[in-house]
């Protein structure tokens, strides 16, 4: 599952980068704000996936530790 989560993180970061670039390219202040907010949402989603990835790693490590004991 870690590979799938890592791919989700990559996609979120790519989408955030695209939103940031589009914000930089527009002169329409309302559109710029929308793209900046979109970037922030993509980054929050990536952060959520990163937490899931860390939690999964923690649980897998804990399971391996218990099995060795």
* pLDDT tens per residue across span 12-60: 999 999 999 999 999 999 999 999 999 999 999 999 999 999 998 888 8
Contact 50/7 with Cβ under 8 angstroms?
no
Q: Residue 17 is part of which domain span?
A: 2-68
Looking at residue 62, its pLDDT comes to 77
- Record the pTM: 0.80
CA distance 57 to 38: 29
Of 61 and 53, the one with more pLDDT: 53
* Cα–Cα distance list, 11 to 1, 6, 28, 30, 69 (Å): 16, 9, 26, 25, 38
Domains held by the chain: number: 1
């Amino acid at each position: 599952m870690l590979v799938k989560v890592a791919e989700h993180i990559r996609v979120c970061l790519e989408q955030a980068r695209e939103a940031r670039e589009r914000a930089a390219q527009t002169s329409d202040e309302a559109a710029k704000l929308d793209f900046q907010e979109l970037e922030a949402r993509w980054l929050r989603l990536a952060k959520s996936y990163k937490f899931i990835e860390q939690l999964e790693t923690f649980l897998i490590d804990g399971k391996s530790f218990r099995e060795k004991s």
